[in-house]
Structures are given as structure tokens and as C-alpha cells.
Copies of this chain bind each other. A is one copy, B any other.
Amino acid sequence: MKNILIASTSTLANQNYLDYLLPELQLHFQNCNTILFIPYARPGGISHEEYTAMVSLAFAKINKKVIGIHEFEDANQALKNAEGIFTGGGSTFVLVSQLYKNNSIEILSEVVKNGTPYLGTSAGSNICGLTMQTTNDMPIVYPPSFKTLGLIPFNLNPHYLDPDTNSNHMGETRETRIKEFHAYNSVPVLGLREGSWLDVKGDKITLKGDLTARLFRQNQAPEELESGTDLSFLK
């Protein structure tokens, strides 16, 4: 049975890394001593080692050990053996490229579908959707495909931002970009604000956190969904 947490962000303003999620994570990873960490998204271009050290510090607070997937000779065997998996944020393009390079996309999808507890934040959440086509990230490397894990039957836009009504900036708003996505694609997109997450238990997908989330569907007006909403109806 799927057991997945998909968070918009790792970090809330003025808080430490993962702090707001730690009570959830204690439950989520209750049967794991060690978390396999996927540091491939390399936020700010930091190394796999630096990123893993930062994540270890956070998980130490709930007495979990963290091992970076880059420390294993066989990344796919590490995925198969993992007690729990966390994929951190950074560049979705870099993350997806590396997963394809390792031939890990299908294996990662499979082990999580078979029940290995998974946590994603930001880029690590983006990859839970059908494709990475609604990421906010810059295309700094060219992945062999935009197809991702398909752990949920729709796409995400993490760090969802409402239009700034005071701004004179003429660049596209997030909503405009998602509308453009729907000119070419019929996949629903959930705009997940910072502090929201999805709790996936089997086929049940529940919106968690204090905020509403914004749902975009092709040829329909966007909708605000309350925390606690069961999203299993989305296809």
C-alpha cells in the first residue's frame, strides 16, 4: 500500500529545515531506522555530500539515520533495500536527469507503489506527479524525458504563489503558466502552497496543513480546496 508524504516545501520562513514536518515524519517513518536520501536535485548546486549532511542533521532530531544514495555502488539496489526514502528539493531538471541516468525512474516508482514510505519536498514532490511539466525550475540541464514517477494521477505545482496584485512586473503569473500548460495537456495540476502537503495512503490522497490548495483543470475555473479534502476523485 502506498505510504507517501508530498510536501510543497522543506522549510517554512524563519524555521529550520524540515522543522514543521518533524511530528508527521516521526509517524510516517516510525518503522524505519535509516532513511535513504536522494540528494540529486542539488539546491544551489551544493554537492551530494553537503546536502546529505544537512538532511542528516534534521532527521537526527527524530532519531533517524540518513544515508545518501550516492554512497552506494548500486543505486537501484539501494532503492530496493531502503526502509524509507526521502527526495529533497532543488532543481527538478537536475534530479530527473540523474534518475534517468541511473535507470531509477521505474524502480523508484515501483518500490514506493509497493509500500516503502516516501517523503518528497519541492522537486522531490514534483516527481511524484505524472510529469515534471509544471515545475517552477529553470531547464538548466536537458533530461531525456519529462515523464516522472506517476505516484499520483495528476501534476503538482509546489511553492504555489498567488498573483501579486501590487506588482507592476509583467512576467507571467503562476496561474497563467498553468493555464498555458492546459492549452496542451489535460492532466490536472494542484498548486500546493508552502506549508501544505499531500498524505497518500493507498489510493486515498488527503490535503494536509493549514492552507487551501488551488486546483487547475483543463477548461474549468480554478478551485480552492480546503485542508482535509480527499483528492482521490482527481484523474
B-contacting residues of A (Cβ < 8 Å)? 9, 11-14, 42-45, 90-91, 94, 132-142, 145-146, 159, 161, 168-172, 176-185, 194
Contacts and interface: CB of A to CB of B under 8 A. Distances in A.
A183 B133 CA distance: 22
A180 B90 contact: yes
B9 A172 contact: no
A201 B180 CA distance: 34
13 contacts: A12-B170, A13-B169, A43-B180, A44-B176, A44-B179, A44-B180, A94-B184, A133-B139, A135-B138, A136-B172, A138-B178, A139-B139, A159-B171
Contacts of A140: 133-134, 177, 180-181, 183-185
Most B CB within 10 A of own CB, among A91, A170, A181: A170
| Copies of the protein in its oligomer | 2
Nearest to A47: B183
Prevailing SS type, chain A contact patch = loop
Contact of A170 (B13, B135, B171, B178): B13
Given A136-B171, A136-B172, A161-B169, 13 more contacts: A9-B170, A42-B180, A42-B183, A45-B180, A94-B180, A133-B139, A133-B140, A134-B140, A137-B172, A138-B177, A140-B185, A159-B171, A161-B171
